[in-house]
Amino acid sequence: MAANRRQDRWNFTLAQAGSQPVSIVHQTLELRVDYEAFTRSFETILGRFDRAVMASLANDPAGADAKMVRMEGEQGLMIFAAQDHGALFAMTGSHRKARRYHVGNPRIALQMTSLDIRAGLYAPLSVLVYEAEPGVVRVDFDQPSTLFGQFGNPAVTAIGLALDRKLENVIQRATQLAAQR
């Protein structure tokens, strides 16, 4: 009887509102820099998102906003999370240097999602940094303007274009700093 109640609770009908193919521009940048120097520089110039700010959003939105501004790094961007994908290769007995970053800004995400909630699907952005060979780093990401442009909202696309420039500037700056180390 309990099993039937559990099963009934999950009975629902999926309705497809629509689907469409989208064109996303994927970027792969090859940089002649040391992996450790690049990732250190990348992490240094970006701010860090502190999830504790979320607790104050409902009671003190202005205070939470001020805290988020202080979290911003260069270009107004910050790291939400980083995963060491290279560590996974230990399960195969090999070693890779690869790190996936979630990069963005909740204040920029709010600008976009206020215009089209679907923009939340791609905020924050994903950036994969990996060592292709010693002294060569590749940075892979989907171009923000194409991720956000698929929704057909010119204001959201404009923010995506600004994010294209911000992300490129951060990568360029991290490359310059890494080359100096």
30 forms beta bridges with: 138
Arithmetic mean of pLDDT, 165-181: 96
pLDDT tens string 1-15: 555 555 556 566 666
pLDDT tens string 107-139: 999 999 999 999 999 999 999 999 999 999 999
Tell me the angle at which helices 154-180 and 106-115 cross, rounded to the nearest 10 degrees: 160
Q: Where are the domains of the chain?
A: 26-180
The answer to whether 129 and 38 have CB atoms below 8 angstroms apart is yes
Cα distance between residue 173 and residue 167, in whole Å: 10
Query: What pLDDT shows up at residue 2?
Result: 54
pTM: 0.88
DSSP string, 119-167: GGGS-SEEEEEEEEETTEEEEEEE-HHHHHHTT--HHHHHHHHHHHHHH
For the 26-180 domain, the top CATH level (class) is alpha beta
What does the DSSP 8-state code read for residue 143? Answer: -
Query: What pLDDT shows up at residue 11?
Result: 62
Tell whether omega for the bond before 134 is within 30 degrees of 0, i.e. cis.
no
> Closest Cα to residue 78, out of 69, 86, 87?
69
Q: How far apart are the first and last CA of the chain?
A: 67
pLDDT tens string 35-68: 999 999 999 999 999 999 999 988 999 999 999 9
